[in-house]
Chain A
Amino acid sequence: MTPIEKSTFSRWVPLLAAAAIGALLLAGVILSRNQDREALPSPLIGKPAPAFDLPVLHDASYRISSRDLLGEPYLMNVWGSWCPECRVEHPVLTRFAETKRVRVVGYNLKDEREDALRWLEQFGNLYFVVLTDYSGETALDWGIYGAPETFLVDAKGVVRWKHVGTVTEQILDDEVIPLLDRMDAES
C-alpha cells in the first residue's frame, strides 16, 4: 500500500463512522415509530393465569375463581365506568360477544358497584360474567395497570394474548380470531 492510498482510505473513516451512527439512530426511530409506547408487553404470555377468587358484580355473594373458568378459553376485558376508552371499545366487543366465538368475561376494576351496574344498563351488558376488583389487588397479579386491557386465556388457563388500550375490529380480525382458530386446532 502506497502512502497516498492509505491517506485516501483514512479520510473516509470518519464519514463511515458517522454514517454508521446515523444508521443506528435511524433504526431506533423506525423501530419505535409504530409501537404504542403506552403498551407494555406482558410477561404473563405463555404462563398460567394468576390464581384469583373474585366476587361477581351482579351477585356479590357469588364468587368465581380461576379454576371455575378452566375448560374453555375466555377473553377477559378489564373495564371501569370511570374509563372513557372502555366506551369506545364497548360496541366492538358487543358485536364480537354476539358471535359467541368465545366467552367474554368482564373485569370491573376499581369501580363503585352502583356506577358499574348503571354503566352496563346504559350501554348494554355484553359479558358472560363480570368479576369485581374494587381494591385492585388481584389486578397487580395480572400486571394490569389501567383500563381497558384485554387478555385471552386458553382452556388450560394459560394466558395467550394481551392487549393494552382499545380493542378494535382490526385487532379482533388480525390477532384474536386467528389465535382462537389456532387454539381450536391445538385441542
Chain B
Amino acid sequence: MRRRWPLVLLLALLLPTLAFAQAVRDPSPMQFTDQAEADRFHDLAGELRCVKCQNQSLADSNAAIAQDLRHEVLTLMRQGKSNAEVKDYLVDRYGEFVLYRPRMDTKTWLLWFGPALVLLAGAGVVVNVVRRHARMGAAGTADNAKATAAIDEDQEW
C-alpha cells in the first residue's frame, strides 16, 4: 500500500496540468486511442498549414475549418493512410499551400537551393579574398627575403 503513494501523488500532480493544457489548446479535444497515435497526429498536424488563419499550423489553429481538417486527418490515419497519403489528400483539395515543407519541383527549386547557392557564392568570395591576401603576403615575404639576401650579399661582399 505504501509503495503506491508516490505514483498516486504523481498522478494527482499531473492531472490538473493535463486538463488545463487541453482546455487551452483545443475547444474540441481529439480522442486518441493511444500515445503513438497522438504523437503521430501531432507531428503531422504540425507540418500542415491552416488554410484559414495562414500563419498557424493545423495543430495550433482554432478556426472551424482547422477543426474539421484535424478530424479528417485523424479519420484518414485510422483508415490506414500513410502520412504522405494524408498530405496528398489535402494537397489535392487545398493545394501545395497546406504544406509547411514545400515539395521540390521547378517552382520551388530556388526556394530549396537558393540559400545553398548564396552560401556557395559567399564562400567563393571568402576564398578569393583569403587567396589574394595570401598571395600579397607571400609576395611581401619573398620581397623581404630578397631584400635580406641582398643585404646579406652586401654584407658578405
By a beta-carbon cutoff of 8 Å, the part of chain A in contact with chain B is: 37-38, 40-44, 110, 136, 140-143, 145-146
Contact = CB atoms under 8 A, between A and B. Distances in A.
B65 A43 contact: no
A143 B68 contact: no
A141 B68 CA distance: 12
Given A40-B94, A43-B95, A145-B65, 12 more contacts: A38-B54, A40-B51, A40-B95, A40-B97, A43-B92, A43-B93, A44-B93, A136-B68, A142-B93, A143-B95, A145-B51, A146-B65
A171 to B, nearest CB: 20
A43 B51 contact: no
Contact of A42 (B52, B69, B72, B95): B95
Q: SS class of chain B's interface: helix, strand, loop or mixed?
A: helix
A140 B64 contact: no
Given A136-B68, A140-B72, A145-B52, A41 B95 contact: yes
Name the 4 nearest CB pairs between A and B, nearest first: A143-B93, A145-B51, A145-B65, A43-B95
Contacts of A142: 93
B91 interface: yes
29 contacts: A37-B54, A38-B54, A40-B51, A40-B94, A40-B95, A40-B97, A41-B95, A42-B95, A43-B91, A43-B92, A43-B93, A43-B94, A43-B95, A136-B64, A136-B68, A140-B68, A140-B69, A140-B72, A140-B93, A141-B93, A142-B93, A143-B93, A143-B94, A143-B95, A145-B51, A145-B52, A145-B65, A146-B52, A146-B65
Contacts of A41: 95
A145 B54 contact: no
B135 to A, nearest CB: 13
A40 B52 CA distance: 9
Nearest to B98: A40
Contacts of B94: 40, 43, 143, 145
Interface in B38-92: 51-52, 54, 64-65, 68-69, 72, 91-92
